[in-house]
Amino acid sequence: MNWQALSLALFGESHAITRTGDVIYGTAQLGPALTIAVVGTADHAAIGVETALAQARFVLDTVASHPGRPILLLVDTQGQRLRRRDELLGLNRYMAHLGCCVDLARRSGHRIVGLVYDQALSGGFITSGLMADACYAVPEAEIRVMRIPAMSRVTKISEDLLQALSLTNPVFAPGVANYVAMGGIQALWSGDLKQGLLDALAAPNTVDTRATLGAERGGRALAASVIQQVLAA
Amino acid sequence: MNPHLSFAELNARERVTQLLDPDSFCEILGPAARTVSPHLALLGVPYAFDDGVVIGSGLLQGHPVLIAAQEGRFMGGGVGEVHGAKLVGILQRALQVRPAAVLVLAESGGVRLHEANAGLIAVSEVMRAVLDVRAAGIPVVMLIGGANGCFGGMGLIARCADHVVMSDQARMSMSGPEVIESSHGVEEFDSRDRALVWRTTGGKHRFLMGDCDWLVEDDLEAFRGLAIELLGQSKVLTLQSLLEEQQMLTDRIVEVGECDEAIEIWRRLGVQSPDQVAGMDVEQLRVLMASRAEANS
């Protein structure tokens, strides 16, 4: 889905979301008295220093000028930008800064909803959608770190074995359902996207419950219990 | 105390026991607990009884601290489900016991590919846990000195901490040189050009850019000394501090965003003899940074 179609599906004509480069941002009306700030990337953007910084700017401006206004983080990314120049400039610091801004917004009382509306590959959404109170996805979204053939080449494990295991174990294979099972994606929004957003905003969620969700759903059997064991030791 | 112990040459457990006060380390979910990754076993890959990360509590100059150390010799320190959960657990424990600091001896290539989805989610969980600890006024200190560097998701986690300490041999960045080379070719980034790799991702560059706060020799005592200095030194994030970070990062792109090479960046930053930085020792670099800070004030 492209960002225009998504904006239309979420907000009808009641939005002023625009695009500058790879970054989309603006505000939308969810009701007569409910404005939401929207920021993200479009067209499978590679997350470089500028892309991360522009999103951080918008989040900080929202915190500074519109206390409490909910924020929707829209994810469509091919991953971090794989250029030497971005690494020279400290891409990890730029991306982490975005994550810190999202975290500050939450602590300042903003509800933060993430939505993977197209692609979320590799590290591209760790510091945006995955730093939200909860991250959602549309059913046709594509989420992965690496495809199985590439993973087979790097790990030297046969493709057949990986394919077979991927049917029952969600921890490595591509697919949005795997991320739901592991608690990384809270839920899929199908049909009425606006209702999905309203429901997400209504669900208080400032504590990170993803490990527990992953255990309940059977996709991450161990993470929650390991955390508990460390706390109880 | 030992006259000189190379941080890089020690394994994770040795680093922890040498860094903390003698006999004070108390490991949580140590090898005897057999908290292994079930996913590696399924794939027929060797697993480790600690899943490649040592966590626990101890004393530093008599002050209680929590500590985590990644083992670079096991899967490059890669973050999987159990490994990541141990990091989250020790950070959340800090909120209960309020240590004088949480020390993270980071050495990792990032997400462990064999359990990549779990690792990716875990990295964001660790980030949130680090920021919770920071917000509680407990300093999180990253100590980076292992041969495998601090890459990918671990590079993101490092930059969420209060303080980043690197040795001049250490490396930190988002994507590793091999990944960039395989994506955009050897002309973009020759991963076998060691000098180029160090200029781009190494401790000296990060120190000159301000991306690590402290630069030390590859000496365990130097890491310990700094960790002691940073006990209780919390830097709580505020709207004001993040606006300042935003401005600094914006200025950086304006000032050096067009540079193709670290040496050119250092020149523009005001380093007098940028082509000599590679041969300078840590003390010379500290003097250089101090004189720059003076010139800017």
Quick one: three-class SS letters along B91-156? HHHHHHHCCCCEEEECCECCECHHHHHHHHHHHHHHHHHHHHHHHCCCCEEEEECCCCCECCHHHH
Q: Which residues in chain A come in under a pLDDT of 50?
A: none
Residue of B nearest to A226 (CA): B85
| d(C-alpha B110, C-alpha B115), whole Å | 12
pLDDT surpassing 60 at residue B239: yes
| d(C-alpha B190, C-alpha B177), whole Å | 7
Cβ-defined contacts of B202-205 (< 8 Å, 24+): B202/B168, B202/B169, B202/B170, B202/B171, B203/B144, B203/B166, B203/B167, B203/B168, B203/B169, B203/B170, B203/B171, B203/B172, B204/B168, B204/B277, B204/B278, B204/B280, B204/B285, B205/A88, B205/B262, B205/B265, B205/B266
| d(C-alpha B43, C-alpha A216), whole Å | 24
pLDDT surpassing 60 at residue B168: yes
Name the minimum distance, in Å, from the CA of A125 to any CA of chain B: 9
What's the pLDDT score for residue B169? Answer: 94
Which of A93, A95, A160 is the best substitution to test chain B (most B C-beta atoms within 10 A)?
Answer: A93
Check if the beta carbon of residue A101 is closer than 8 Å to that of residue A143. no
Which of B82, B117, B166 is the best substitution to test chain A (most A C-beta atoms within 10 A)?
Answer: B117
Name the minimum distance, in Å, from the CA of B1 to any CA of chain A: 30
Whether A128 is covered by a domain: the verdict is yes
B90, amino acid identity: I
Cβ–Cβ of B173/A91 closer than 8 Å?
yes
Chain A residues with beta carbon closer than 8 angstroms to that of B120: 122-123, 126, 130, 145, 184
| d(C-alpha A40, C-alpha A127), whole Å | 11
Instruction: Provide CB contacts within 8 A for B165, sequence distance 6+.
Output: B141, B142, B143, B144, B212, B213, B214, B215, B216, B223, B226, B227, B230
Whether A225 is covered by a domain: the verdict is no
Using pLDDT thresholds of 50, 70 and 90, give the confidence band for residue B295.
Answer: confident
Chain A residues with beta carbon closer than 8 angstroms to that of B257: 49, 85, 89
Name the minimum distance, in Å, from the CA of B239 to any CA of chain A: 7
Whether A221 is covered by a domain: the verdict is no
Residue of A nearest to B123 (CA): A126
- Count of domains for chain A: 1
Query: What radius of gyration do chain A's Cα atoms show?
Result: 18
pLDDT tens, residue by residue, A115-156: 999 999 988 999 999 999 999 999 999 999 989 998 999 899
Q: What is the CATH number of the domain that holds A126?
A: 3.90.226.10
Q: Identify the residue with better confidence: B12 or B272.
A: B12
User: Which residue has tokens 């601290």?
Assistant: B65
Domain span at residue A173 reads: 3-206
Which of A163, A176, A227, A228 is the best substitution to test chain B (most B C-beta atoms within 10 A)?
Answer: A227
Ordered domains of chain B (ranges, CATH):
12-172+212-234 (3.90.226.10)
Cβ–Cβ of A64/B55 closer than 8 Å?
no
Nearest CB to B116 within list A127, A145, A231: A145
What's the pLDDT score for residue B294? Answer: 80
pLDDT surpassing 80 at residue B154: yes
Check if the beta carbon of residue A88 is closer than 8 Å to that of residue B200. yes
Residue of A nearest to B178 (CA): A82
What's the pLDDT score for residue A189? Answer: 96
φ and ψ at residue A114, rounded to 5 degrees: -100, 145
What's the pLDDT score for residue A204? Answer: 78
Cβ–Cβ of B252/A89 closer than 8 Å?
yes
Cβ–Cβ of A179/B156 closer than 8 Å?
no
What's the pLDDT score for residue B2? Answer: 54
**Mean pLDDT over residues B253-281, rounded?**
94
Chain A residues with beta carbon closer than 8 angstroms to that of B140: none
Whether A227 is covered by a domain: the verdict is no
What's the pLDDT score for residue B3? Answer: 67
Check if the beta carbon of residue B235 is closer than 8 Å to that of residue B162. yes
**Averaged pLDDT of chain B:** 96
Using pLDDT thresholds of 50, 70 and 90, give the confidence band for residue B263.
Answer: very high
Residue B176: C-alpha distances to residues A13, A51, B9, B62, B160 (Å): 43, 20, 21, 38, 19
Chain B residues with beta carbon closer than 8 angstroms to that of A94: 249
Name the minimum distance, in Å, from the CA of A29 to any CA of chain B: 25
Which of B29, B111, B123, B124 is the best substitution to test chain A (most A C-beta atoms within 10 A)?
Answer: B124
Whether A124 is covered by a domain: the verdict is yes
Which residues of chain B form beta strands (DSSP E)?
26-28, 53-60, 63-70, 102-105, 140-144, 163-167, 214-216
Query: What number of CA atoms fall less than 13 Å from residue B193's CA on the CB side?
Result: 14
pLDDT tens, residue by residue, B20-74: 999 999 999 999 999 999 999 999 999 999 999 999 999 999 999 999 999 999 9
DSSP code for B258: T
What's the pLDDT score for residue A205? Answer: 83
Q: Is A15 helix (H, G, I), strand (E, B) or coil?
A: strand
Chain A residues with beta carbon closer than 8 angstroms to that of B39: 169, 171-172
| d(C-alpha B65, C-alpha B99), whole Å | 5
Nearest CB to B124 within list A64, A131, A222: A131
| d(C-alpha B66, C-alpha B177), whole Å | 32
Q: Is A127 helix (H, G, I), strand (E, B) or coil?
A: coil
Chain A residues with beta carbon closer than 8 angstroms to that of B152: 123
Cβ–Cβ of B242/A227 closer than 8 Å?
no
Burial of A228 (0-12, 13-18, 19+ CB in 10 A): middle
DSSP code for A203: S
Q: How many CB pairs under 8 A join A and B?
A: 249
pLDDT surpassing 90 at residue B297: no
Cβ–Cβ of A108/B239 closer than 8 Å?
yes
Whether A119 is covered by a domain: the verdict is yes
Using pLDDT thresholds of 50, 70 and 90, give the confidence band for residue B194.
Answer: very high
**Most distant pair of Cα atoms in chain B: their distance:** 58
Cβ–Cβ of A223/B111 closer than 8 Å?
no
What's the pLDDT score for residue B296? Answer: 74
Name the minimum distance, in Å, from the CA of A85 to any CA of chain B: 6
Name the minimum distance, in Å, from the CA of B284 to any CA of chain A: 22
